[in-house]
């Protein structure tokens, strides 16, 4: 039987711990303690003050925002143990990772696996420094769950492609510098006719139109491509390999979304603290409403089980050499729980938890409402829960279609 | 579906036709965008009053039609389908308190004006964000002092039915009454209303349980609105699944989604029975407290699921402001929390049943 105790870290790691502490003392601006990661947030453009900028540059120049990525492309080159130390020390200092966004969460890991040397050297370092924002050009009006039905076409013109078509629901498209897109290069083969390419958002012929969401913000866009020139060097992998590469990227996306992503970050305080603030307490300091107390505990237990599952899955998939279909299980579970949590928050707060704007609500109350509404998207994007269920049933469990 | 008499069928058809043609969701969207001071279109409400909808639970001798609660529920359900912004529910409830607990003088003073729509009334009962807390407002020498939280339709109301520690009072908008907006996700009228020595007249004739009686009516009529909303989300979603093609087939052909819709359909059936039996109880005058718990608890449960699934089953388009389904989610949670959350209602149900 395996022992539960973790082996002690080697002494060299203690030296690393000292190095991290010194770095944080020198570079982490105390006024940023506990503040969120603006760059990675999905809703709203980056609003970076001087302190945030300095912090991003400090972390970026060390590659510690992408701690496990190879050093030669600007990553931290840290071991798993060192990464854990870095995270522990950052948490102790109230520091957060200023490097994020789709480049870190999905595109970087995919390019590291499938990109050419030249592409990695060009695109990975700016991601590690948090300088370039990427958006995802996958969905189209008639290609949502059936993503492979995409029709945006890239015509081969020798040394470049000419791209025409429409993408939709492009998160952050209006603020992005570049787009990783899957497009059609062959109309005769649904899956093998797809290629993965990188498109500059400021190239002539790219137009974005923001769409307003139920949460009131406009964090996503329709994106139109009209005769957009894309140099051949921006093709990732081979022509026709886009579906394979694109799906791998989705596995990274799903693993990230499962943690609740943007919605979880916006949720703020933990449930029991919230409950103690908004609900009546008994003389013993416990929540007087036994039903709510039960429901909060019920949630917290399942959330613990989910976090443990996520941790185990990450360890197992690392051992097996990367992300896998278990990402579908994590995505399905994590998003459902995050949504449940938002709903529970509203129940705890009553009508005070449903404020839209104006007087009478704190900033965190209003933020919670927007997060609740935005969070409804997490079971839709990155492949809906229904699609994850199909993947689990068919690819993991080998269940055949009923037809 | 309850068995309706001819009068009720005509009323429902009229409400359905008016809501569909004159007050579709686009009308609510307009109110949301243009933000009239009352929180609704006063023209639309005037038309509703002309059609007699404000007098449905008011006796004929005071200018109403006395058609009863089932009739009121039918109209409210139709208006719920299109999210019509109006104080009809609020003013109907205010009128019902006067019918139940007003003196002859109070009745002749207020009911004709409420029936004609000249006066808009509303309930000012809860003092916190969760229904069912303590009532601390007090009255001395005819002056009421206290603060009421999240009063529905406060902006258009000129008559408040206010709960104080020793009973219910009528307070007119005016001196000693101030309000501060509380903008909720449903974008309807809600405000915190403060009464600072406002002139108040006691509703003395309703018995000790007048407040409970009023709240039961609020629960039942609100659940009629929720029924309309749930029905509409279901219909719109079903239509969408029958049209949207992915994987070369309509979404409606996927068994996983067929079963989801079948579950929701069954939920809707239970919700309808519960709501209609609440309305019938009010008209029959029996078993009202329990029927109110059943109606609102079922409405909470079914609409909660329906409003969530409505978005999920639409996919990305359901998340857009341009599409209507999100409005139902945002109104749903406000109504779920009003006049009793599910937890509150289950507790009350068990108390009433003596366990
Ligand atoms: C906030 C937000 C941000 C997004 N950001 C991006 C982005 O940055 N880039 C990008 O490319 N896309 C993005 N998307 C798009 C997202 O990936 C799609 O919305 C998603 O893939 C679903 O597609 P659809 O909207 O067309 O829904 P549909 O595919 O039409 O699905 C509608 C419903 O049917 C269900 N369904 C579909 N097929 C099946 C089936 N076979 N079996 C059972 N049920 C099924 C779905 O689960 C869903 O419930 C975003 C979406 C949202 C809401």
Residue B28's CATH number: 1.10.540.10
Residues A164 and A107 in one domain: no
Same domain, B278 and B258: yes
Structure tokens at A300: 């917290």
Same domain membership, residue A119 and residue A159: no
Judge if B90 and B28 occupy the same domain: yes
**Are residues B181 and A213, on separate chains, in Cβ contact within 8 Å?**
no
Domain end (from B68, B89, B116) = B116
Interface mutation vs chain B, best among A142, A151, A298, A354, most B CBs within 10 Å: A354
In the prediction, which pLDDT does A37 show?
55
Catalytic residue among A253, A340, A343, A386: A253
Q: Residue written as tokens 């609440």? A: B278
Residue B316: closest CA among chain A residues belongs to which residue? A380
Over 90: is that where the pLDDT of B243 sits?
yes
Same domain membership, residue A123 and residue A141: no
Q: Are B181 and B259 in a shared domain?
A: no
Q: Is residue B299 domain-shared with residue B201, that is, in the same domain?
A: no
Rounded to a whole number of angstroms, the distance from the CA of A292 to the nearest CA of chain B is: 8
- Determine how β-strand B183-184 pairs with β-strand A355-357: antiparallel
Contacts of A352 in chain B (CB under 8 A): 129
**A13 within some domain:** no
The two structure tokens encoding residue B133: 């807390």
Based on the fold, state whether residues A62 and A34 are members of the same structural domain.
Answer: yes
A351/B315 CB distance under 8 A: no
Q: Both B175 and B134 in a single domain?
A: yes
Whether B202 shows a pLDDT value over 80: the answer reads yes
Q: Looking at the structure, tell me whether residues B347 and B244 fall in a common domain.
A: yes
Residue-by-residue pLDDT tens, chain A, 403 positions = 333 444 444 557 899 999 999 999 999 999 988 776 544 444 445 677 889 899 999 999 999 999 999 999 999 999 989 998 998 999 899 898 999 889 999 999 999 999 999 999 999 999 999 999 999 999 999 999 999 999 999 999 999 999 999 999 999 999 999 999 999 999 999 999 999 999 999 999 999 999 999 999 888 999 999 999 999 999 999 999 999 999 999 988 887 776 544 444 445 568 888 999 999 999 999 999 999 999 999 999 999 999 898 888 878 877 776 667 788 999 999 999 999 999 999 999 999 999 999 989 999 899 899 999 999 999 999 999 999 999 999 988 999 865 4
* Two structure tokens written together for A64: 């510690």
Residues B223 and B100 placed together within one structural domain of the fold: no
CA angle A320-A322-A324, nearest 5°?
90
The shortest CB-CB distance from B185 to any of A350, A369, A380 is to: A369
Catalytic residue flag (residue A48): no
pLDDT at B28: 98
- DSSP one-letter string for B208-262: TTHHHHHHHHHHHHHHHHHHHHHHHHHHHHHHHHHH-EETTEEGGG-HHHHHHHH
Is the CB of A389 less than 8 angstroms away from the CB of B256? yes
Mean pLDDT of the B137-141 span? 97
Using a CB-CB cut-off of 8 Å, the residues of chain B touching A351 are 129-130, 149-150, 182, 184, 190, 334, 337-338
Q: How many CB pairs under 8 A join A and B?
A: 120
- Contact (CB<8Å) B181/A292: no
Count the helices and strands in chain A (H runs, E runs).
Answer: 13, 9
Q: Are residues A151 and A205 part of one domain? A: yes
- B70/B224 Cα distance (integer angstroms): 9
Separation in Å, CA of A359 to nearest CA in chain B: 7
B89 occurs within a structural domain: yes
From the CA of A377, how far away is ligand 1's center (Å)?
9
Q: Going by CA atoms, what residue is nearest to atom 16 of ligand 1?
A: A381
Q: Quick one: which atom of ligand 1 is closest to the CA of A383?
A: 21
Domain boundary residue among A128, A153, A178? A128
Q: Which pLDDT score, from 0 to 100, does residue A268 have?
A: 55
* Contact (CB<8Å) B130/A350: yes
Rounded to a whole number, what is the distance in Å from the CA of B186 to chain A's nearest CA? Answer: 8
Q: CB distance B337–A346 less than 8 Å?
A: yes
Q: How far is the CA of A6 from the centre of ligand 1 (A)?
A: 41
How many domains are there within chain A? 3
The rounded distance, in Å, linking the Cα atoms of A170 and A148 is 17
- Cβ contact B17:B75 at 8 Å: no
Q: What local confidence, expressed as pLDDT, does residue A174 receive? A: 93
Query: Cβ of B312 and A384 within 8 Å?
Result: yes
Q: Are A368 and A354 members of one domain?
A: yes
Last residue within a domain, chosen from A128, A162, A186: A128
Residue A96 lies in a domain: yes
A85: domain CATH number is: 1.10.540.10
What residues in A contact B319, CB-CB < 8 Å? 213-214, 376-377, 380
Say how many Å lie between the CA of residue B301 and the centre of ligand 1: 26
Residue B175 and residue B264 in one domain: no
Write the CATH number for B151.
Answer: 2.40.110.10
Residues A233 and A293 in one domain: no
Interatomic CA distance for residues B82 and A93, integer angstroms: 52
Judgement on whether residues B59 and B83 belong to the same structural domain of the protein:
yes
Domain end, chosen from B70, B94, B116, is at: B116
d(CA B263, CA B228): 18
Q: How many domains does chain B have?
A: 3
- Tell me whether residue A285 is in a domain: yes
Quote the CA–CA distance of B270 and A347 in Å, as a whole number. Answer: 23
Q: At what angle do helices A326-349 and B325-337 cross, to 10 degrees?
A: 50
Q: Are A207 and A223 in contact (CB under 8 A)?
A: yes
Nearest CA to ligand 1 atom 5: A171
In a domain, A245, yes or no: no
**pLDDT of B7 above 70:** yes
* Mean of pLDDT over chain B: 97
Q: Is residue A184, in this structure, part of any structural domain at all?
A: yes
Torsion of CA A226, A228, A234, A240, to 10 degrees: 40
Residue A145 is nearest to which of B246, B308, B330, comparing CB atoms?
Answer: B246
Say whether both B99 and B84 belong to one domain.
Answer: yes
**CATH number for the domain that contains residue A383:** 1.20.140.10
- Structural domain that includes position A149: 134-238
Q: Which domain holds residue B44?
A: 6-116
CB contact under 8 A, B320 and A211: yes
CATH code: domain of residue B279 = 1.20.140.10
Q: Which two tokens stand for residue B128?
A: 């916190």
Let me know whether A90 and A167 are in one domain.
no
- If we measure between CA atoms, which residue out of B253, B293, B254 comes closest to residue B274? B293
Q: Are residues B301 and B173 in the same domain?
A: no
Of the candidate ranges A287-291, B256-260, B325-329, the one whose mean pLDDT is the lowest: A287-291
Q: In angstroms, what separates the C-alpha of A50 from chain B's closest C-alpha? A: 34
Mean predicted confidence (pLDDT) in B242-268: 98
Residue A162 belongs to a domain: yes
- Separation between Cα atoms, residue A323 and residue A321, nearest integer Å: 7
A146 Cα to the center of ligand 1, angstroms: 8
Pairing of strands B190-202, B167-172: antiparallel
Structural domain includes residue A295: yes
Identify which of A212, A343, A380 has the shortest CB distance to residue B322: A212
In tens, the pLDDT along A343-376 reads: 999 999 999 999 999 989 999 899 899 999 999 9
Residue B263 binned pLDDT confidence (cut-offs 50, 70, 90): very high
Q: Kind and range of the H or E element at B68?
A: none
Q: To test the ligand 1 pocket, which listed residue (B241, B258, B315, B319) has its Cβ within 8 A of the most ligand atoms? A: B315
**Do residue A291 and residue B333 have CB atoms under 8 angstroms apart?**
no
The enclosing domain of A229 has a CATH number of: 2.40.110.10
CB contact under 8 A, B338 and A351: yes
Domain boundary among B86, B116, B146: B116
- What is the nearest CA distance from A349 to chain B, expressed in angstroms? 7
Same domain assignment for residues B216 and B333: yes
Are A266 and A375 within one domain?
Answer: yes
Q: Is residue B135 part of a domain?
A: yes
Write down the H helix ranges in A259-289: 261-267, 271-278
Ligand 1, atom nearest to A146 Cα: 29
Q: Pocket residues for ligand 1 (CB within 6 Å)?
A: A 135-136, 138-139, 144-145, 169-171, 220, 377, 380-381, 383-384, 386-387, 390; B 244, 246-247, 251, 254, 256-257, 312-313, 315-316, 319
Across chain B, where does the E strand assignment appear?
121-124, 138-140, 143-152, 159-164, 167-172, 177-181, 183-184, 190-202, 245-246, 249-250
Is A349 part of any domain? yes
Judge if A112 and A153 occupy the same domain. Answer: no
Mutate one of B25, B29, B35, B129 to test the A interface: name it (highest A CB count within 10 A). Answer: B129
Indicate the pLDDT class of residue B3, thresholds 50, 70 and 90.
confident
Contact predicate B161/B134, CB 8 Å: no
Assess whether A97 and A210 both reside in one domain: no
Lookup: tokens for B188: 């309807």
Centre of ligand 1 to C-alpha A35, Å, is 31
Which pLDDT score, from 0 to 100, does residue A326 have? 83
Instruction: Please indicate, yes or no, whether residues A75 and A204 belong to a single structural domain of this protein.
Output: no
Give domain status of residue B1, yes or no. no
CA angle A224, A225, A230 (to 5 degrees): 150
Q: Are B238 and B261 in contact (CB under 8 A)?
A: yes
Contacting residues of B for A149, CB less than 8 Å apart: 246-247
Residue of B nearest to A386 (CA): B256
From the list B302, B291, B304, B303, the residue with the least C-alpha distance to B348 is: B291
């Amino acid at each position: 039987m395996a022992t539960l105790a973790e082996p002690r870290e080697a002494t060299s790691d203690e030296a690393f711990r000292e190095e991290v502490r010194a770095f944080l003392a020198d570079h982490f601006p105390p006024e940023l303690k506990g503040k969120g990661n603006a760059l990675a947030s999905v809703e709203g453009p980056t609003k970076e003050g001087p302190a945030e900028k300095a912090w991003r540059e400090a972390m970026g120049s060390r590659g510690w925002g992408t701690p496990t990525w190879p050093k030669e492309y600007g990553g931290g080159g840290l071991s798993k143990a060192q990464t854990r130390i870095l995270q522990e020390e950052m948490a102790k200092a109230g520091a957060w990772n200023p490097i994020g966004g789709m480049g870190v969460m999905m595109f970087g890991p995919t390019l590291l696996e499938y990109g050419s040397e030249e592409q990695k050297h060009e695109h990975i370092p700016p991601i590690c420094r948090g300088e370039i924002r990427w958006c995802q050009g996958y969905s189209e009006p008639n290609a949502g769950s059936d993503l492979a039905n995409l029709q945006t076409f890239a015509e081969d013109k020798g040394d470049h492609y000419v791209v025409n078509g429409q993408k939709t629901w492009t998160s952050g498209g209006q603020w992005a510098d570049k787009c990783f897109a899957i497009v059609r290069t062959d109309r005769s083969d649904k899956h093998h006719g797809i290629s993965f390419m990188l498109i500059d958002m400021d190239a002539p012929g790219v137009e974005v139109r923001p769409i307003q969401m139920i949460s009131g913000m406009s964090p996503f866009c329709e994106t139109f491509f009209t005769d957009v020139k894309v140099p051949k060097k921006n093709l990732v992998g081979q022509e026709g390999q886009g579906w394979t590469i694109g799906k791998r990227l989705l596995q990274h996306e799903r693993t990230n979304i499962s943690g609740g992503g943007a919605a979880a970050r916006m949720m703020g305080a933990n449930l029991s603290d919230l409950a103690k603030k908004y609900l009546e307490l008994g003389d013993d300091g416990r929540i007087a409403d036994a039903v709510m107390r039960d429901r909060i505990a019920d949630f917290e237990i399942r959330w613990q089980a989910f976090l443990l599952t996520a941790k185990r899955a990450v360890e197992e998939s690392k051992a097996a050499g990367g992300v896998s279909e278990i990402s579908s299980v994590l995505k399905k579970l994590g998003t459902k729980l995050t949504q449940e949590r938002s709903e529970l928050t509203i129940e705890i707060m009553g009508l005070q938890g449903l404020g839209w704007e104006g007087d009478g609500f704190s900033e965190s109350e209003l933020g919670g409402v927007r997060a609740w509404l935005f969070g409804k998207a997490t079971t839709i994007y990155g492949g809906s829960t229904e699609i994850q269920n199909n993947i689990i049933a068919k690819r993991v469990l080998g269940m055949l279609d009923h037809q | 579906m309850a068995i309706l008499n001819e009068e009720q069928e005509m009323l429902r058809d009229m409400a359905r036709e008016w809501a569909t043609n004159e007050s579709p969701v686009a009308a609510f969207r307009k109110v949301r965008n243009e933000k009239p001071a009352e929180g609704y279109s006063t023209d639309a409400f005037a038309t509703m009053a002309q059609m007699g909808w404000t007098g449905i639970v008011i006796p004929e001798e005071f200018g109403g039609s006395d058609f009863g609660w089932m009739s009121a529920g039918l109209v409210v359900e139709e208006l719920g389908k299109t999210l019509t912004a109006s104080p009809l529910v609020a003013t109907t409830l205010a009128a019902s308190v006067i019918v139940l607990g007003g003196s002859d003088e109070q009745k002749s003073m207020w009911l004709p004006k409420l029936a004609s729509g000249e006066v808009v009334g509303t309930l000012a009962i809860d003092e916190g964000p969760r229904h069912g807390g303590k009532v601390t407002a007090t009255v001395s020498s005819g002056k009421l002092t206290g603060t009421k939280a999240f009063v529905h339709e406060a902006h258009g109301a000129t008559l408040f039915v206010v709960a104080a520690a020793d009973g219910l009072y009528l307070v007119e908008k005016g001196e000693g009454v101030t309000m501060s907006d509380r903008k909720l996700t449903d974008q309807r009228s809600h405000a915190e209303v403060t009464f600072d020595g406002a002139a108040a007249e006691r509703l003395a004739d309703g018995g000790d349980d007048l407040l409970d009686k009023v709240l039961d009516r609020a629960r039942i009529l609100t659940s009629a609105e929720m029924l309309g909303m749930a029905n509409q989300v279901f219909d719109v979603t079903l239509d969408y699944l029958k049209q949207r093609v992915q994987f070369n087939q309509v979404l409606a052909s996927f068994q996983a989604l067929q079963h989801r819709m079948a579950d929701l359909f069954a939920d809707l059936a239970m919700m309808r029975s519960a709501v209609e039996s609440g309305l019938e109880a009010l008209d029959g005058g029996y078993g009202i407290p329990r029927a109110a718990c059943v109606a609102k608890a079922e409405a909470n449960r079914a609409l909660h699921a329906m409003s969530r699934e409505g978005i999920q089953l639409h996919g990305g388009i359901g998340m857009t402001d341009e599409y209507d389904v999100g409005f139902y989610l945002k109104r749903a949670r406000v109504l779920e929390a009003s006049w009793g959350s599910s937890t509150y209602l289950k507790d009350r149900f068990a108390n009433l049943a003596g366990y």
